[in-house]
Amino acid sequence: MGLPPLNSAERQQPWKQPLRQALDAQAATSRRHLRSFAPGAAGNLHPQERQSTSGDPLLDLASNDYLGLSRHPQVIAAAAAELERSGLGSGASRLVSGSRPVHAQLEEALAGWLGREQALLFPSGFQANIAAVTALADRHSLVLADRLIHHSLLAGVRASGAKLKRFGHNDLADLHCQLEAARAAGPDRRLLVLSESLFSMEGTSPAVGQLMELCEQHGAALLLDEAHALGLLGPGGRGLGHGRDGIALISGTLGKALGSGGAFLAGDATTLEWLLQHSGPFRYTTALAPPLAAGALAALDWLQTQEAHGTPVGSALLQRAARWRTGLEQAGWPRPPGEGPILPLLLGDNARALAMQRRLEQAGLLSVAIRPPTVPEGTARLRLVLRADLPPGTLTRLLRVLGRP
């Protein structure tokens, strides 16, 4: 639906005109729309089905709730108990009166699980990434970032005032050349490298060990965003950075595989103390809601219990993801790269991606078209997400609807 013409009052507001011009120039196939999806009912809907605005059930192939923990009874019970104990919100920042015992418990548990000295909670991953970049870089620094890095990290670079250069996606040869040139040009310059262990729109991962070695060789700090890997990749789902001491900071989220909300940074005591003392994104925000912290703590405990019993759910999900990749390939689609639960189905232009989204929805499957600027021009796609609690036969159902490319 288009916007109505500017009225006389709006025409007297010059600040609004460039916004309106940009909106009017935006192509229909690139416009975004908010849509609400009701959760699956306890009756005849599967727990991972959603009800569209028309009331039709849609099996959710878009959510980042990879392990289905947002609905796990243990997680819900822990959040409900903390809700009763502490209330819904924390009411203040952590440095005023917003800290609760559950915050410290979760930070200690996360640091221990990841093998890091300390961890610090943030209300969102976007805030955590801005805090991480501004801790490790300033206006005198050079930041080398993977070309497909998350927008929050780019926002952090802008906030830090550092100079930004990009290297090819997971292209360590390119990074090596840029690091060599940067170090030769500024032997004492502060260098920071940004990457992710599982890229959210590509499903790909870098060779983290080699990446870390390159950074150590050239005296560069490495910030690794593990948001989509934690709970799935690495030993016991601890991420691809686990056991690698050369990583300056690990950024992680509680709102994906852990089924809750919020985020954290984990690293050495010095860096975390700097964040506590100097980070604006930490200092000037209301603390993470205590029920979310309690739910994440319960999810983490559940993950560790599964590992102790020899049944890590992340491993089973990765095996299922491999079968999905093979199934898509055998059906004639390009094999989605990577090994995690994110399977991009490249379609090229926006119109084709939106048409395929509608086609799936008509068949009861929810997969959202991802378009520029979230992905590069000409690479619009469906981002298929495999989760541990999807019902059997989902792949067969999906392939039947997709047909051949």
Which tokens is 194 given?
A: 């940004």
d(CA 141, CA 123): 27
φ, ψ (nearest 5 deg) of residue 143: -110, 125
Which residues have a Cβ under 8 Å from the Cβ of 163 and sit 6 or more positions away?
A: 141, 142, 143
Name the active-site residue from 64, 70, 90, 205: 64
Strands 249-253 and 263-267: antiparallel
Strands 369-370 and 380-385: antiparallel
Length of the chain in terms of residues written: 405
Helix ranges (H only) for 234-388 are 269-278, 280-283, 290-308, 313-330, 350-362
Name the active-site residue from 65, 107, 146, 196: 196
242 labelled catalytic: no
Q: Is 359 exposed, middle or buried (CB count within 10 Å of its CB: 0-12, 13-18, 19+)?
A: middle
Tell me if 23 sits within 8 A of 4, measured CB to CB. no
Name the active-site residue from 72, 103, 218, 228: 228
Name the active-site residue from 60, 107, 129, 150: 150
64 labelled catalytic: yes
196 labelled catalytic: yes
167-184 b/e with 16+ CB inside 10 Å = b? bebbebebbeebbeebbe
225 labelled catalytic: yes
Tell me if 380 sits within 8 A of 370, measured CB to CB. yes
60 labelled catalytic: no
16 labelled catalytic: no
User: 31: phi > 0 → left, psi -120 to 50 → alpha, else beta; which?
Assistant: beta
Name the active-site residue from 82, 146, 225, 389: 225
Tell me if 169 sits within 8 A of 178, measured CB to CB. no
Catalytic residue numbers read: 64, 150, 196, 200, 225, 228, 256
